[in-house]
């Protein structure tokens, strides 16, 4: 069974930093692309970014709203995904979901598994 467990959320002041972690199990983590998706309180879903697998050089993609401030990384030896968030803004508040991408082709690169999410609150 695929399991994704996020941690690291909490309260942080504007301008501060936070690092989210996601522990993956139940599948071959190193084979898969991974995404972060977030959801502001009472709002819709927002894609944050993606990291590809080793076969695709661990390259990354980001939403414009976080590019230059957030960094996605992974440690395949630890089956772990990370989201380093710097220069946090109030509008970054929300639940952050760690997600697994099913395949590596354009037609199969869809999120098929989600963690339970971790809440990040940016407030003074």
Partner 1 sequence: DIQLTQSPSFLSASVGDRVTITCRASQGISNYLAWYQQKPGKAPKLLIYAASTLQSGVPSRFGGSGSGTEFSLTISGLQPEDFTTYYCQQLNRYPLTFGGGTKVEI
Residue placing its CB nearer to partner 1 in the complex, 35 or 92: 35
DSSP annotation of 87: S
- Of the candidates 97, 100, 91, 94, the residue with the CA atom closest to the CA atom of residue 24: 100
Least CB distance from residue 16 to partner 1, whole Å?
A: 24
Q: Which of 44, 55, 68, 77 lies at the binding interface for partner 1 (CB under 8 A)?
A: 44
Residues 101/34, Cβ–Cβ less than 8 Å: yes
Residues ≥6 apart with Cβ < 8 Å to 78? none
Least CB distance from residue 34 to partner 1, whole Å?
A: 13
Residue placing its CB nearer to partner 1 in the complex, 13 or 25: 25
Alpha helices in 1-124, H assignment, sequence order:
none
Q: Which of 21, 63, 80, 84 lies at the binding interface for partner 1 (CB under 8 A)?
A: 63
Residues 8/17, Cβ–Cβ less than 8 Å: no
Residue placing its CB nearer to partner 1 in the complex, 25 or 116: 116
Residues 35/72, Cβ–Cβ less than 8 Å: no
Q: Is 57 in the site for partner 1 (CB under 8 A)?
A: no
- Within residues 87-116, the interface with partner 1 by CB under 8 A covers 97, 102, 106-112, 114-116
């Amino acid at each position: 069974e695929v399991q994704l467990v996020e941690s690291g959320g909490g309260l942080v002041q504007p301008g501060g930093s936070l690092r989210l972690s996601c522990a993956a199990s139940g599948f071959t983590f190193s084979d898969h692309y991974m995404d972060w998706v977030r959801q502001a309180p009472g709002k819709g879903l927002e894609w944050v970014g993606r990291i590809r697998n080793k076969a695709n050089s661990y390259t990354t993609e980001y939403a414009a709203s976080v590019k230059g401030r957030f960094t996605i990384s992974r440690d395949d030896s630890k089956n772990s995904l990370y989201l380093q968030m710097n220069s946090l803004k109030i509008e970054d508040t929300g639940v952050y979901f760690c997600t697994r991408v099913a395949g590596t082709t354009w037609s199969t690169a869809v999120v098929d598994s989600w963690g339970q999410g971790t809440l990040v609150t940016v407030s003074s």
